[in-house]
Each structure stands twice: as C-alpha cells, then as structure tokens.
Structure 1
Amino acid sequence: MSAVSRLSVNVNAIAMLRNRRDLPWPSVTGLAALAMEAGAKGITVHPRPDERHIRKTDVFELSELIEDRFPNKELCLEGYPSPDFLKLVEEARPDQVLFVPDDPQQTTSDHGWDFSKDTSALADAIAMSKDWAVTVSLFCDPDPAAPEKAANLGAERIEIYTGPYGACYDDPAQAARELDRIVATAEAARAAGLGVNAGHDLTVENIPPLLARAPFIREMSIGHGFTADALIHGFAASVARFRTAMGEL
C-alpha cells in the first residue's frame, strides 16, 4: 500500500493556458481530477486579483469537485490576505490557506514574509481563517529565525520558499548551501511546533536530497516543475514520478 502523498499539484499554469482562448480547455477541474486520481494529496491554486490564471469560479468548481468526488483530498488557496481574498477564503472554506506577501502584479511568489514589519493585519487574517476552520500556513524565506515569528502570529504551518534551491540546478555547490538553509529552517519550524511545507521550483531531481535531510516535510506544492514534466510524461505519469521522487511509491 502506498504512503499518503505529500504532493499538492498547483494548476495555475493549466488555467493560464486555458485563458489564452475563450474555450473551456484545457480543463482545470479535469486535470485536477486526473492528478488526484493518480494519487496527489490535493490541489493548490493562487487566484490573483486580475484572474490572469485561476479565476474565482475555478476555486468554487475545484472545491465542489473535491467535496463530491475526492473527500479525502485537500484544496489549498494561496494569496495575499486582502479583504477580497479573505472573503474568498471564507466562502470557499479550503482545507488550507497559504498567505504570501505578493504584490498583485508579481508573476509568481518569490519571497517570504518580512516579519520585522507590522504584521498586525496578517495576525488578524490568521485569526479569521482559523475561525473558519481553515489551516493557516505562512510563506517563509529559508531563514531559521522565521518559524518562531510565524508561530507567534498564530500560524499552524510554514511553507519554505525553495526557489533559490531550485535555481541552482547547474551549480551543485550553491545548491548544497541553499539546501542547508532550507533544512535549518525546517528544523526550526519543527522545534516551534509548526507543520512544514515546501514549494517553488521543486523537481524529481532536487526533491530526494531535500527529503533525505528533512523527511518530516508534510507537503510539497509544485506547479511549474510539475507542469513541465507533465508536458513530456502526462499528468498521471508525472504524479507517479514526483511521488517516486518523494519515496512514496
């Protein structure tokens, strides 16, 4: 029997491709279903204010899909805790929300929260989400000082930004240094009583060294690397490839 998956497939890129035409394909819900049928633990989406990829309607359709067909799977919403986004969280009631410090025009989440700034609004958003029975995660840079600050705000998990590690695909020495930072942050999060997630530019090649040193990471949200892999191997096969890299198959 296979282990419970860590893999949450981010389908933003599927929505971006669909939005190039006024057509319903590729289907965000259809491919999300394929991923979950193949063993992914759930789906992650980042609905931005301009709906340039995921639309609000996608969020509710994915929520309905999981409730109706995949009750043991999870939906994670990622976004900046603006009033509009918080309203969406309240209405959709995902299993998890990942708060990221993004400017609306950013192409992707590329840094964690700066906890040295005023985080009172973030603390309020965390409290509201927990009132709605939504698990709260905060996006953090690989910095061992960050997890304790996230815990003090009321977060239940962090997601470590692994982009700098993924960017070192052609520089093993720098990748090793970045990996050290991620592992130190993950260990600090565990010591602070937080669940540990990871995400950004993770691939079947760089996941095994990470999990060899931090096997307690509970979730990996993967979009770009997964989609690139799926263009070659297919959605279901890529779920198996990533789960194999995670030591689950």
Structure 2
Amino acid sequence: MTFIVGDVVGSVSPLVSLIISPSRTQHFTSVSLSLSCEDQSNSDRWRVRRYTESEQWEDCSSRWASQTGSTCTISSTITSDTGVYSCQSESGENYHPVNITVHSGVILESPVHPVTEGDTLTLCCLYQNTSSVLRADFYKDGSLIQNQTTEMILSTVSKSHEGFYYCKHSERGESPKSWISCLCVCFSASHSESQISVLHTLSSVLAVCPYLLVTVVLIFKCCRMRDEMSV
C-alpha cells in the first residue's frame, strides 16, 4: 500500500535524513525496525512520526514503538505498521517522508530514497521463512519486465524507470508494490552553463584590460605634455 499525504510527500529538507534499518521500503512482520532522523549536527530536535490507515499522524510512543533521542525502534513489526514515516521538526513540519510496507511472505527489496539519475539499481525478491533470495518474476506497473531471475538490474536509471515495481514467485506468492523514483541531475547542465558564462565574461574583461591601460597611459602623457608646453 502506498500513502499520499497532502503535500508532505514533496517536502524535502537538506538538513535532515530519515535513516531506516534494514535499509528498504518493504519489511517482514515480527522483525525489529529502526528509524532515525539524522542531521548535520547530530541533534535530538527531530522526532519520527507516521501516518497510517487511521488517517492521522502518530508520534513514536510506547504504544507501538520506543523513542530514544531521534531514533524510533519498533521491536516487532505488524502489518498495521504500514504507512508513511517522516521526521518532524520542533516547529511541527514533516520532512523526508518514506512509504513503509510491512508484509508477511514475499517482499521486494527496494531502495528507501530516490535513485540518482545515471546510477545502477538492483531489485531482489525475499521470502520471510528462509530470508533467502527467490528466483522470481519482476513487474513494473503491472507488466512483466523480467522473469525467473534472482535479481533485476536496472543500469543507467532515468525518469523512464519510475513506476510501481513488485515481484512474484509461482509458489510463495507476490510482494506488495513499491514506487521507484529517479532523482534528476539536470541542474548540472545549467550550473555548467553559468560557469561558462562567468568565465567568458572574465576572459572578455581581461582581453580589454591591456587596451584600457594603454589608453590611460596615453591620456596621462598628453596631459603632461600639455602642461609642459603651457609652462
């Protein structure tokens, strides 16, 4: 299940990151799950919160988990732990939301955060009873894209790879769906163009400088000669 909570899913802060251990979006039932809000100063001013089927934000508390500093620990996961988890600031704003699914049986091992454009992505299909990697079929948006393999590798990830992925085993069943997103690095081109523009301007100024210097010197000499002749 994938939750969309207002505009929270689009909220990003460069100051804090939600770290999940194990580092994946899908998790088995009856296992320990740790979620930490980490910033550059390693402060404890962030709190882990979740939004579930109850349609309300919940604090990490003794009712479903325990909070130590900025780390929230679920000792034994259950399916109702499925939801959106994020880091909340002291002012009440939520940052870095992550969809987490808790499921028994088969899960898809997929990344927590968006994959950077151009990177390689590897997806695996795991089975709870043995924690082993299954030879399974992999689907994107309901269409079969690779069959009977232990891992699916997407090389040079781009925006076209975004979508809902899941895996299916003929006997063990299928995993829930996970959304894979791609982080575009197109800003690099504009950044490079800015640098080229600045360099071009500097080179133009430096090229003109000698002519300006000669002009100043000539004006100075003319003024001096005029003063001498007037004397």
Q: Which of the pair has more CA radius of gyration?
A: 2
Shorter-chain TM-score tier:
under 0.3
Q: Greater relative contact order: 1 or 2 (C-alpha under 8 angstroms, separation 6 or more)?
A: 1
Q: Name the structure where helix makes up a greater proportion of residues.
A: 1
TM-score by length of 1: 0.23
TM, length-normalised to structure 2:
0.24
* Greater strand share, structure number: 2
